[in-house]
Structure 1
Amino acid sequence: MVIAELKRLAERQGAAGLPRRPRPVEARITSYVPWWAQRMASRSRAETRVVVAGRQSGKTHWASFEVLRIAMERPGSFSAVLAPTYQIAQTAIDKLRAMASEIPGAVWKEQKKRLLLPNGSKVAVFSADRKESVRGPSIDGVFWVDEGAYLSERAYEAALGALASGNGRVIVTTTPVGKNWVYQEFTSDDVENAHFRFRSSDSPYSNKARLRRLRRKMSADKAAQEFDAIFVDDLLLAFPDTSRLFARGFPDRSYDPALQNVLGVDLGKEQDWLVVTLMNRYGEATILGRWRHLKWTETVPRLVAMAQDHDALVVLDHGAGGGYGGVLIDFLEADGVRVLPVKTAVVGTKAQIVEQCRADVEWERIHVLQNTHSAQLRHELATFQGIKRVHRGREVMVYEGPQVEGEHDDCVISLCLANWGRVRGGSGPEEEIEDLREFVLDPDDMESDAGFRFGGGGYRFGAPGWRQ
């Protein structure tokens, strides 16, 4: 009788949400059917498994299954997922939640970004662009780093500290971007490291005809990276560290009669986005708008209003042969807007503009206000790449975002154009990239009070700054 009463009491306590003892639970996920490369990676019992994979080859699907499998095999364990940006983390979250829906009793906690499993195990998801770090109990389940090539080595090593006192396993999945820390892990001769390569063309779920079309739009080395998961020497991340770029607020500049505002406008209409970034002479930037599917007759008045409201110089891409960029310039100038046209399609010009922005981000000469659009900029900066090319006998860098569906670089280009207007004013881009290299790399030049000029006022960028 007493034992029966205790059992009923224990059941009532459990129903009220009190913790229960972790217990083994069996579950079957029927939606996941691995192909041969995924099965090989799953059979490995190495402490660290590094999977470099082509686009749409199933690396995220595979890793999501592995995380759930290990978490379910280890009742009461704690696992963590780390991605470079929240947008990338959301892809992992979607896969985990879809698979976990087949596990009875699994619950997703949206606010804490945690998955609670019926055997008492927890899976927490973090992104490196948020303040919170990988924290909680020691990782004794699995630590999954998604798109590791876009994550700084410092962030990876810091997160590994959570494994120090546990016996958790490590999974790194990524599409390669040059030979960074992921390459070192992939080629490590450590007996506890196993490496695997998923090629897009090998996956039975990839669209072979579409892959062939995409390959024809890319250079051989870019396609080797994106689809064959090959580490290419000449590829690099353009903005590897943006940890001090974003700010919660800027000082009140209403007293300043000569802010020398600039609007960097990257044009887009249907597939791409039109993005407008405002920057003043102090290097304080705000993304004012990001839109598409809007008629040019509606876009022009919006741009004119922004330029007039902020008394700003507008910097935008003139386009090859004029294009719609040239048409918009005519309309803007007809309304009295000052315009600085640039031609990013010219080899070297875009590189000058991007490299100027890279240097100013690195030396903390510019900052971006956090708002509804800044998360998109964070993501684009984390995936924006440079690749070496030989053009007319000289080596140049070509910069672009990932050439895959759903990825954009409009916010990055808008920021670069705004910064170019801040630095160059009305002088326009140099024809040779070498002419700017010394200037771009020397931080002392940016402390000069001489400045440049455009419009009717003097332009100084050595003015007092602010602190985050």
Structure 2
Amino acid sequence: MPGPDASAPSLLAALSPPIKATASEGLVTLPYAPRPAFQPFHARGQRFAVLVCHRRAGKTVATVNDLIRRAVECSRPAPRYAYIAPLFRQAKDIAWDYLKRYTAPIPGRVVNESELRVDLPGERRIRLYGADNPDTLRGLYLDGVVVDEPAQMKPALWQEVLRPALADRGGFAVFIGTPKGRNWLYDLYRRAEKDEAWYTLTLPASRSGILRPAEIAALTQDMAPALVAQEMECSFEAPDRMQFIPPALVTAAGERPASRGGARVMGVDVARFGDDRSVILVRNDTLEHMRVLRGIDTMQTAALVAEEAEIWRPQAIFVDGAGVGGGVVDRLRMMGHVVFDVQAGGKANAGERYANKRAEMWGVMRDWLRDRGALPTGIDHRDELADDLVAPQYKYDAGGRLLLEAKDDMKARGLPSPDLGDALALTFAEPVASPELRRIASEGPAQDYDPLDY
């Protein structure tokens, strides 16, 4: 967003009677001195911002004061500003005292304790909200909003409520938080990094200059390394406790030399919803090829799969046959291809360990990433695949079997459907004999080898 409207007369200068000022006659000095790390944030020119900061960095104080300053200097009629925490009670505990403290020098300011609202002269208003009651925000217009810890909120709050509320007045938005794995905050940050319309700030404790070095050293002694990386060093790569595939496995696979070993197999994940992607993926022990498709029907998808099969000649083609994927399976079979129809919700081969086929495929894929899989850079969409692989969480069902997080639950956390990850997982639906193993099996008596390999 552009900075405060410099052409607008200062509200604080126009107040009567004027308060004694430290800068010039008629101006109010708020009791806030920005920490050096946040000065570029206050001077930003972008409309949208994402701040990823370590604990106790002062991001709440900085963003509350940013709201106050912009409210004071706004020239639009009756401007409205909001600070939103995951819960209404959190908003009160985190930001309410700050809002009252820093607006106290403004004459004519009125505090409404029951609504967590501060009214300033000129019908200016700043109010705290909780994302647990989004209906209180529907129908409002906003000139600016701070969203605190978006990872704990549903993205629909932004898409359906807040973004439209900013539209007619060109309002700004600031998202603030500390990493907690791959979630909506991560998705926002990745988007912001690539978009010049967004301001980004990453503030790890080791570089912010806010915490004393002795305190940081003590924290590293008292906290688990993964928590230090996440909470203090702002790492999205620190493994979450319920993360099924840790980032370290994906990183290791990305650094592993390419190999031509293993069977060449193709996985096809067919889009079921409008914003999902259809994916064609080919791998042996090395990821060889990915093709991402959007906005095409099942007949077009089947034609493109057939085209890729002619190029890559896989030993097996696995297609997610659930829903619309069944049409792709039927069409490919009509075209003469040998296709395996995979039902992700079906029974796992190792039914005592996995709750369904999808969990089993991801489990075998995780072992492959750990033991020998290679994900070389330079493959189209490789970074998107890496994001997909570390996104799902897991739990156990009543029988103690592993169950992978559902796609709808991931979307509720602000993450897209892991379509590329599912396409790779499909290639592990059943073991497939590599050409070399087929040759050994045909040449003589049984030897010490496994004729089937994932």
TM-score with structure 1 setting the length: 0.45
Structure showing greater Rg? 2
- Tell me the TM-score normalised to structure 2 length: 0.46
